[in-house]
Amino acid sequence: MTQPILKARGLTKRYGKVTALDRCDFDLMPGEILAVIGDNGAGKSTLIKALSGAVVPDEGSVELDGKKVDFHSPIDAREAGIETVYQTLAMSPALSIADNMFMGREIIQSGVMGKLFRRLDKAKMQEIAREKLNELGLMTIQNINQAVETLSGGQRQGVAVARAAAFGSKVIILDEPTAALGVKESRRVLELIQDVKSRGIPIILISHNMPHVFEVADRIHVHRLGRRLCVIDPKEHSMSDAVAFMTGAQEPPEHPQAA
């Protein structure tokens, strides 16, 4: 049996008296798209933040590629190869698309100007940014230097997804990537997700949109009351089953690991 690329055991996170994560387990297999679904307040966001380094769990362990990892910030997780597209997108509105794509990992010019004066290689960054956006085909952007705040919601989402796809080497986490998008743009993001998967990079997809989840996911992690209720195969269960499980209307299937 193959080892999970990202594995969490017994994750617990409390905010005062609220327990957001209650001894939660999590497994992501290589090359798969794993959807995480759950009701509002089930602790999905906290789980994702614990995996991406934005939240440090009180208890429990996370393993990447079989090695225990200890993320204290999103930067740690990024360096380990986990890229996250947050629901808030984590972009600086006043800065340009290129600036935002390379935020925190800017390319510095080679030669004296770079070494001595730390001059950014803007031309190269703009070129790569344009390339990545074109790969997506998601953009209707003329100017790579336009401020992110002048983009529509869908375009911003596209830039954020492009950023993650460009740099994610081990795992990509997408938090509600289609929530703000129109029909056509959602379609492109779903195509992009398949595209990233075909490159062999596993994806964690958090979404409320059941048709999207059932369309792309290989397995579905159902989250309820701060822990993993069950993992189901979208081919064996219907959308209404999934909703019944996550709302507690129906007992989960006997075998919790439908791999």
Partner 1 sequence: MSQSDNFEAAASGAATDVASFEDTHKGLVGQIQHTLHVNPALVPLIVLVAAICIFGLVLGSKFFSPFALTLILQQVQIVGVLAAAQALIILTAGIDLSVGAIAVFCTVIMGQFSFRYGMPPAAAVACGLAMGTAIGAVNGWLVSRVKLPPFIVTLGMWQIVLAANYLYSDNETIRSQDIANDAAFLQFLGYKLKFGGAVFPLGVILMIALVLVLAYMLRSTAWGRHVYAVGDDPEAAELAGVNVHKTLMSVYMLVGFICGLAAWVMIGRYGSVSPSATTGVIGNIQAITAVVIGGISLFGGRGSIMGAFFGALIVGVFELGLRMAGADPQWTYLLIGVLIIAAVSVDQWIRKVTA
Please work out, in degrees rounded to the nearest 5, the angle formed at the alpha carbon of residue 172 by the alpha carbons of 169 and 178. Answer: 145
Cα–Cα separations (whole angstroms), residue 129 to 146, 160, 195, 196, 214:
12, 11, 18, 17, 31
Closer to partner 1 at the Cβ: 78 or 224? Answer: 78
**Total Cβ atoms within 10 A of residue 70:** 9
Q: Interface with partner 1 includes 177 (CB under 8 A)?
A: no
The DSSP 8-state label assigned to residue 142 in this structure reads: S
Answer left, alpha or beta for residue 251, where phi above 0 means left and psi between -120 and 50 means alpha: beta
**Least spacing, CB of residue 120 vs partner 1, in Å:** 6
Strands, E assignment, 87-189: 171-175
Q: Which two tokens stand for residue 176?
A: 């509600």
Closer to partner 1 at the Cβ: 143 or 247? Answer: 143
- Binding positions for partner 1, 93-132, rule CB under 8 A: 93-95, 99-100, 103-106, 108, 117-120, 122
The enclosing H or E element of 67 equals strand 67-69
Q: Interface with partner 1 includes 183 (CB under 8 A)?
A: yes
Q: Interface with partner 1 includes 87 (CB under 8 A)?
A: no
For partner 1, which residue of 3, 41, 56, 184 counts as binding (CB under 8 A)?
184
Q: Which residues are registered as beta bridge partners of 82?
A: 171
Closer to partner 1 at the Cβ: 3 or 140? Answer: 140
Q: Interface with partner 1 includes 150 (CB under 8 A)?
A: yes
Q: Which two tokens stand for residue 180?
A: 């703000």
Q: Interface with partner 1 includes 208 (CB under 8 A)?
A: no
Closer to partner 1 at the Cβ: 101 or 222? Answer: 101
Binding interface with partner 1 (CB under 8 A): 54, 73-75, 78, 84, 86, 88-95, 99-100, 103-106, 108, 117-120, 122, 139-140, 142, 147, 149-150, 183-184, 186-187, 211, 214-215
